[in-house]
Chains A and B, each alone.
Chain A
């Protein structure tokens, strides 16, 4: 390639770069300006929301600045965003007032309109808005998004479905094949307010699901509502192939605790991997069951895993065996590691 051609190419690239510089600068200035607008709008909206929360929709004084801008689509969207944020923070009458404010400005229509958009984040946002503002009539349309390919949309639709329909909204779990993240489960758990009495039939299917995340979610659901009828089925999961499921099972069994629970846990203890054993020890510590004293002593002295030894020592301490522990710690012939663990536990308190 001759130098001349190279020069021409470089000149061409330089021209493009110069053009891009101008374009980026213009965009930046424009974005900066719109950010400044948003700051101002944010203050106006915050004022409006504050008045609504304190004085109610009817008593809120006329806000000219707000009324002038509410026709602006971007302002309206920002208002919606702030309103949903505020709705999460307030309960009771303030929450009702905010929902009224939402209706008064026909923001439900804006949200419903957004459901027809093609951009995933707009649809997801609209579902959140409609759910937060309790627009139940939107549920049929929201349900159409349950099988949407985008996780952002179908998860929001699931939350909405559970929010409005309760346990029934969780039925999708029977056919849910993707792994559910803790975040997904957390949102679903927050969305559901109660369990029906006959929930076990459905939950039994989920507990046996090949999708372990569904099993884990169900265990957490049982734990949240302390759903005692599930205990028998939960126990069987102590032999589940997944360590994570077993760990969650231990936690759930503890939540459903009865007189037999600790015995069941101790009986299965030796068959469990160390992660599950640690969890069992944690749960036994919380249950403060004197019947387990000997078990704790054995584990303190013999188990090779340090966290288990620490849990055992903590349990013994909580059961009032401080003197015995101190005696052991002062015994010159005693194992140094165990002595350190005992000191760690005693002094920590």
Chain B
């Protein structure tokens, strides 16, 4: 099998690769586009005389708004710097946001301020204004100082907006140092606007750290001293020179830095100003302004100019930096969430279709993707599945691309403005570009991830319990109001849990589809995904209804208990979902209640031998469980604001539960194989239904309650209704005419080849002939190409082939105390045969051993009786199924049997069992390749063969073992006196089935030197027919003493199907008795198929369907009666036979 972690590794690697490619392409676009924007701006403004703006009487008025909180030490100097800006039509509004220091006192003293009565025109809701101050000194007439109660930066800015009177608002941090001509340079784009309204404009912000500042002006530019500071200098160059310029040119800019930005006052007021509830108020405002313009359908633009206009201090301590980036991440998330309506909404043009998705995908998800990448890397490292060559080249590519982007930004900066002119600074910047990924970048990523977590921890965005006006614990409230309130709260909580379940479940469905796509490349992927999605969606909505109702009931009783059960339930549901589809992908079988009928040791053996129980898989499952439980646990701590989602997700399943499932199903294309159709089912739905049915069938009180009491209908041949299979033996001798009469009793050897299906043992099968020896033997044998096994798995092969026995509830072998019966072992032994059973595996598996012990088989050979000269099958993660077929055949030849005594040997092979690991693989692989290139396969067969290589190689091995067995047997004297029966126990479900019947379609041959002539029979026969016919042959030709009363299901080989009154019941798995063949019809579940040479077509013949169903029901009733009594006939039948004296031959 392909390990789950390996597949996951591949899928995850591809996801990251695709994401990386997208980032890479965006970097290229940003680089090229920004360079163009910078060059164009530079060319357009080479000769611009900004002084003409200053002297222009029509120039726009600007209001600088600078909020200040505890800036007492620097505020006087900062205001002086602002007052010295070159621009006449300017007002400077300093908003003291409830500082606890002496900021106000210093300002009042320094600028001779006095409190004035000021009519605030703006109407944005803010904290209370304590006073507005203006200076008595005409030199400071531009200055307005507002003292207000503390309300945060956004609130302070809003006060400034309300107080302002300019056309445009310049919102800055008060500690920023503006270039003297910054307003002039910003005014120009506003003067240049024509048909598009410029609603916001930003400029380049530079780092003031380590720069020489005199009189509020930067007089000498230096790089920050610390690596952290230099990294930010580089980051600012990248962000402002490349990122913002490119997005500005593309009309997609949604962020104007809060440290320095200009906004159209009218639009800001119309939008309601800054949002004080967000920590990313700068970005949120721009997005809201753009949204406003889009909704008004007015043409507008948001620009960034590449002039360095503002200098700001950046944090050079890691702790402050972390807080800042944490805040930025939360701000981004808040803005994206608040404006999610615009995301991918064409109504909002570039904003909705490009800018916001870009921010969501790369700016918001970028750090998270990177962080999860580190986690995946560590996990893969632990699991040892890292491809180091691939890893290193990717690492090199990521680092070099990052470096390239940084130095390219520096180059564009050099083209634009020469800020860092010192050679030393230039070289240190290059050095910083090299070091940044190892120090600064991890801090930023970590802080962003922390911000992501903090967002959910502190934010109300996921909703909080709405308790306004209601307290569920208030006992004074009437019962019904309390009940309604609690239910409402329960629904709010269930809404989150149900959403998580729905999301995780559908994610699991997509993973299932991806898995199938990877493992079965020839799948009709579209049909499978459609059915998978549809069937699973129906299922999960039904489950949500059930779970929702249960949750609410529990919630009414005990909230914590309800949550705990929900966490466990949802986690288990998701885990089981994953396990079920992996099981299906591995075994090609749906897992149902049959899982209950394997004991722990058997399950462990299956898992170990299939290679599922590896350390990597266990680690993966552990991680998966932890992740699921953690995710659900986290979700359980959240609550939606409204009960709506919870209610919808709970009730949506109600109609689905009431509508018949057949109404909700839609058909696969006719060309789809049965395997594809099975793959498209909801594995969980099947598992659940199967277990419910099994539960019901085990509880007769329920069955009796559901079903109407029915009178037993008896076939005239049935002797006693309490023993519905008991009848007189009347099997005709079908085989006798084909054999020469021997002087001695012929020996009998029954070879049951594991997984030998018709599809790949027949040149006309859909896979082709991969059993050359078997086919050669077939030409010399009596052969039935249209043989049906009695089950889809091995559990029924022995009782059916040797005893034609009914199934009982879960297969004859599962009956705790083997009921008295007759089989080839018991009857032949009674007639003097020595009996043996040869198997390379553990005979306790499927309870074969108790059956053999009941039959008193003389030689029970299984894996514990082989010595070291025999070869075991290769181990799969330390576990082998047992001995290879060659060993089993050899053992069957070498095991000493009494001379001159007839014998009956049954050989059950093993090598062609999942995981198809064989010795000498390369030798058989060569044979496989020879077969592929032999030209005997059609192109369609070749395709099948290529898809199922491992399986077919194991079949070639089994065939070769069979050849050697016969070669060696021929050398023995008893060969000529031996009749060989060779068949498959069932077809391999691991090779996808074309038709449902293919699961049971196996070849059957009887070979012996006693045969008069070979003959090929076209009739459909079953394994049930083998034992009766063999015994009838011995009875008629060698006077074998057979019991006169039997309980055979089969009637022996016949020439016409219509001669079979019983039909062929088939168990797909230990709990699924849903297949039935009668005449030329196959009933599978509720679907009827018409058969022609065991090729089937679905037919819609209701009369025939009813008839076949009736016949099948008759069998099921008989089988159910047997299940109940676990007796086939009265004790006396067997004991009387046992008492008979049969002369030794």
Using CB atoms and an 8 Å cutoff, list the residues of chain A in contact with chain B: 3, 6-7, 10-11, 13-14, 17-18, 20-21, 24-25, 27-28, 31-32, 35-36, 38-39, 81, 84, 88, 120-121, 124-125, 128, 152, 178-184, 186-187, 190, 213, 220, 306-307, 310, 340-341, 343-344, 346-348
Contact = CB atoms under 8 A, between A and B. Distances in A.
A348 B134 contact: yes
B49 interface: yes
B108 to A, nearest CB: 16
B486 to A, nearest CB: 48
A182 B407 CA distance: 38
A7 B390 contact: yes
B937 interface: no
B385 interface: no
A210 B393 CA distance: 64
Contact of A340 (B53, B117, B134): B117
22 contacts: A6-B17, A10-B393, A10-B397, A17-B401, A24-B408, A28-B410, A28-B411, A28-B414, A28-B426, A32-B414, A35-B421, A88-B51, A120-B43, A178-B194, A179-B195, A180-B194, A181-B193, A182-B58, A183-B192, A306-B119, A343-B119, A347-B118
A24 B404 CA distance: 8
Interface string B128-149: 0000001000000000000000
Interface in B553-606: none
Contact of B192 (A17, A128, A182): A182
Contacts of B401: 17
Given A10-B394, A35-B421, A84-B47, 16 more contacts: A3-B387, A3-B390, A14-B396, A21-B400, A25-B407, A28-B411, A31-B415, A36-B421, A39-B418, A152-B44, A181-B192, A181-B193, A186-B53, A310-B119, A344-B117, A348-B118
A186 B50 CA distance: 11
Nearest to A18: B400
B46 interface: yes
A156 to B, nearest CB: 9
B393 A21 contact: no
B195 A17 contact: no
B192 A21 contact: no
B390 A186 contact: no
A125 B393 CA distance: 48
Most buried by A among B51, B394, B407, B411: B411
A220 B58 contact: yes
Contact of B47 (A17, A32, A125): A125
Given A179-B194, A181-B191, A213-B194, A344 B119 contact: yes
B116 interface: yes
B423 A32 contact: yes
B188 interface: yes
Contacts of B119: 306, 310, 340-341, 343-344
Q: Interface of chain B, helix or strand or loop or mixed? A: helix
Given A17-B404, A24-B408, A182-B192, A11 B121 contact: no
A21 B403 contact: yes
Given A121-B46, A181-B191, A183-B188, A14 B400 contact: yes
Contacts of A6: 17, 390
Contacts of B511: none
A12 to B, nearest CB: 10
Contacts of A181: 191-194
Given A14-B397, A31-B415, A39-B421, A88 B49 contact: yes
Most buried by B among A124, A186, A187, A310: A186
A181 to B, nearest CB: 5
Contact of A124 (B47, B51, B410): B47
B898 interface: no
Contacts of B17: 6
Interface string B172-209: 00000000000000001011111100000000000000
B400 to A, nearest CB: 5
A231 B1081 CA distance: 104
A121 B52 contact: no
Contacts of B43: 120-121, 152
Nearest to A341: B119
A91 to B, nearest CB: 13
B939 interface: no
B56 interface: yes
B661 interface: no
A346 B46 CA distance: 47
B31 to A, nearest CB: 10
Interface in B1058-1092: none
Contacts of B430: 25, 28
A182 B53 CA distance: 10
Contacts of A88: 49, 51
B118 A344 contact: yes
Given A28-B407, A182-B58, A344-B118, A13 B46 contact: no
A26 to B, nearest CB: 10
A239 to B, nearest CB: 23
Nearest to A38: B418
B687 to A, nearest CB: 36
B389 interface: yes
Nearest to A190: B52
Contacts of A35: 414, 418, 421
Contacts of B411: 24, 27-28, 31
Interface in B397-430: 397, 400-401, 403-404, 407-408, 410-411, 414-415, 418, 421, 423, 426, 430
Contacts of A84: 47
A3 B386 CA distance: 13
Nearest to A309: B119
A38 B407 CA distance: 21
Most buried by B among A28, A84, A187: A28
A289 B112 CA distance: 34
Contacts of A343: 117, 119
Contacts of A347: 116-118
Contacts of A187: 52
3 residue pairs, one from A and one from B, having the closest CB atoms: A121-B43, A343-B117, A344-B119
Most buried by B among A31, A124, A307: A31
Contacts of A180: 194
A343 B116 CA distance: 8
Contacts of A20: 404
Contacts of A348: 116-118, 134
A307 to B, nearest CB: 7
Nearest to A337: B119
Contacts of A184: 192
A39 B420 CA distance: 13
A182 B408 CA distance: 36
Nearest to B24: A13
Contact of B393 (A11, A36, A213, A341): A11
Contacts of B414: 28, 31-32, 35
B117 A346 contact: yes
B410 A186 contact: no
A6 B56 CA distance: 61
A124 B390 CA distance: 53
Given A7-B389, A24-B404, A307-B121, A81 B46 contact: yes
Given A307-B121, A347-B116, A24 B393 contact: no
B336 to A, nearest CB: 31
Most buried by B among A181, A187, A307: A181
Nearest to B43: A121
B397 A13 contact: yes
A325 to B, nearest CB: 12
Contact of A121 (B44, B56, B426): B44
Contacts of A25: 407, 430
A306 B52 CA distance: 33
A193 to B, nearest CB: 15
A318 B410 CA distance: 57
A18 B399 CA distance: 11
Contacts of B53: 186
